[in-house]
Structure 1
Amino acid sequence: MTVAVQKVVETVPLPAPRTAWNVRARLGYLGLNGLILAAFLLLWDIVSAIVSSDFVPGPRAVARAMVDVLMKGDIAGLGLLRHAVVSIQRVLIGFVISCAIAIPLGIAFGLKPGLYRALKVVLEPFRFIPPIAWVPIAILILRGDARYMFIIVLGTFFPILMATITGIARTDTTHLDVAKTLGFTPFERIWKIVLPSALPEIAAGMRIGLGVGWMSIVAAEMIGGELEGLGRMMLNHAELLRVDVVVVGMVAVGVIGFIMNELFLLVERWVFRWRRAIKL
C-alpha cells in the first residue's frame, strides 16, 4: 500500500521552480519581441516611404502626431491622456456592472441547468447580437455616459455569464458528495466547493469580456455624441483627413488593451498560483 501511495504521489505534477534558465528564457523572449517590433516598424516605414501618401503615415509621422496630441491636445482641446482615461473609466464601470449581474445569474443557471434551458430560447439570440448593433437604440433612449456603459454591459455580459455557467457545471460531483456526507449545508457547499472550483473559469470569462468591452467602447464612441473618448478623437480627425492622429488613436487602443489584458493575467496567475498556467 505504501509503495502504491508513493507512486501516486510521484506522478502528481509540481510547479516548476524558478531557475536561472527560466530568467534567461524570459529575457530571450523579451529580446525576440523587441527584434520583431523593430522589424515591424522598419517594414512599416519602408512601405509608407514607397507609397508616399498622407493616408499611409509612417511610424515617425505617427510619433510626431502622438507627441503633438499629448502636449497640445486635439481639435477639441483635449489631450490623448484625457481621451484614454475617459474610455477606460467607461469600460471599467460597465464591466463592474456586468460582473455584478452576470456572475450571480451564471451561478444560478449553473446550479439549476433546467432554469437556463427554460430561458435559453430568449437568452441565446441576444448572445449573437453584436454590441455595436445596440448603439442606435442606446442613443435614442439614453443620455451621456449611460449609453456607453449600456453597450459595455451588453458586450461583457455573455462571456462572463457563459464562463460562470460552465465553471459551476464542471464542479466535481465527488467533492459535493463528500461535503454532503460531512454535513455541509447547501450554502457551505456552494461557498467552499462550487465557487472555488469555478473561479478560474469565471476569471477567464471576465478577461475575455473585458477585451470585448474595450473593443466595443471605441466603436460606440465613434457613433455617440460625446466629445471625449478615443473613438470620438479618431472620428474627429478622420473627418479632417488626419490619418496620422487616427493611427495614434489605434495605437493607444491596442496598447491599452494589451496592458489591461496582461495586468488581468498577472492577477489571475497570482490568485490561482496553485493552478498550472498556460504561458503565452
Structure 2
Amino acid sequence: MRAAAARGLRLFALNVVVLAAAWVVWDFTARAAHSSFFPSPASVARAFQEILAAGDVQGHQLWAHIGASLVRVFVGFAAAAVTGVALGMVLGLKRGVYDSTKSILEPMRFIPPIAWIPLAIVLLRGFSRYAFIIWIGAFFPILVGTMAGIQRVSPLLVEVSKAFGAKRPFIVLKVVTPGALPEIVAGMRIGLGVGWMCIVAAEMIGGEELGLGRLMMNYADLLRVDMVIVGMITIGIIGYATNELLLLLEQRLFAWRRAVKV
C-alpha cells in the first residue's frame, strides 16, 4: 500500500511539473508573438472567469453547453457500444457472415465520420443528427475491437469447455465474452475519443444554440481566440475524465492484466 501511495504521489508531482512547464512555454511563446490571436494563459483564465460569471454572448451558461454535448455524446456512444459489440460478436464468431458483408463494412469503416455530417443535416433533424454522427464515429472502433478480442480468445479454452460438455451459449457467455472484454473496452475508449471529435465538428455546422462546438464557432466568428481555447480546454478535460472512468473500469475488471515493462 505504501509503495502504491508513493508511486501515485510521484506521478501526481510529475504531472504538476509537466503542466507548469507547459504553462511557462505557452506564456513565453504568447509574449514573444505579441498577437491578439495568440492569447496568453492568463488571458484564457480570464475568459474562463468571464463565461462562468456572465455566460456567452447569447446568455447561455458554460454548463448548459457542456450538458448538451455530454447528452449527445452519451446517447450516440451508448448506441455505438450496443450495436458495435453485438455485431462484432456475430462477425467474430461467424467468419462466413463477415466474409459476406466485408465488401460493405470495410469501405464504410474508412469514410471519415465528419464526411457524414452534410448527409445527417439534410436527412435528420435536431438531436438525431448529432446522435447519428457520434454513433457512426464510435461504432467502428468498438466493432473492430470486439472482433479482435474474440479472435484472440484461446481455442484451447473453447475445446476444453466442449470436452466438459459445455453448450454453445455457455461457451459464448462464460468463455469467449470474458476473454474478449479487454479488447472490447479498448475499442470503447477509442470510440469515445472519436465521438468527442465528431460532436464538436457536428455542433459547429449544425444549427443548435447549445453545445461546446457551437460555443467555439460563435466566438471564432467574433475573433475571440481566448474563448475558443476555453472551449478546447473544456473538451479536453471532459474527454480526459471520461477516458479515466473507462480506464478505472478496465483496471477493476482486468486486475490480472499488467503493463509490459522492458
Superposed pair shares fold, TM > 0.5:
yes
Q: TM-score range by the shorter chain?
A: over 0.9
For residues 152 and 28 of structure 2, the distance between their equivalents in structure 1, rounded to whole angstroms, comes to 52
Distance 1:278 1:269 in 2: 15
Residue in structure 1 matching 2:11, options 29, 35, 38: 29
The one-character-per-residue Cα deviations of 1:207-237 (angstroms, maximum 9, x if unpaired) are: 1111110111111110111011000000000
Shift of 1:276: 2.2
Structure 1 residues 113-262: aligned runs within 5 Å: 113-262=95-244
Runs of 4+ in 1 over 3 A off after TM superposition: none
Amino acid at match of 1:101: T
The partner residue of 1:100 within 82, 102, 106 is 82
Structure 2 distance, partners of 1:32, 1:109, is 43
What does residue 85 of structure 1 align with? 67
CA–CA separation in structure 2 for the residues paired with 1:235 and 1:278:
42
CA RMSD of aligned residues (A): 1.3
Distance 1:106 1:46 in 2: 49
State the identity %: 50
**Partners of 1:60 and 1:104 in 2: how far apart?**
48
Amino acid paired to 1:189: I
Please list every run of 5 or more consecutive structure 1 residues that lacks an aligned counterpart in the other structure.
Answer: 1-17
CA distance 1:164–1:152, change in 2 (3 Å) = same
Amino acid of the residue matched to residue 18 of structure 2?
A: I
Deviates more, 1:221-230 or 1:26-35: 26-35
Offset at 1:274?
A: 2.4
Structure 1 Cα separation of the partners of residues 124 and 211 of structure 2: 17
Scaled by the length of structure 2, what TM-score is found?
0.96
Q: How many residue pairs were aligned?
A: 261
Q: Aligned partners of 1:225, 1:168: CA distance in 2, in Å?
A: 41
CA contact (8 A) 1:176 1:193 kept: yes
More displaced, 254-263 or 230-239? 254-263
Give the number of the structure whose alpha-carbon radius of gyration is greater.
1
> Is contact 1:269–1:277 with CA below 8 Å preserved after alignment?
no
- Distance in 1 between residues matched to 2:29 and 2:81, nearest whole Å: 44
Structure-1 separation of matches of 2:213 and 2:21:
28
The structural deviation recorded for 1:204 is: 0.8
Deviation of 1:27 after TM superposition, in Å, equals 1.2
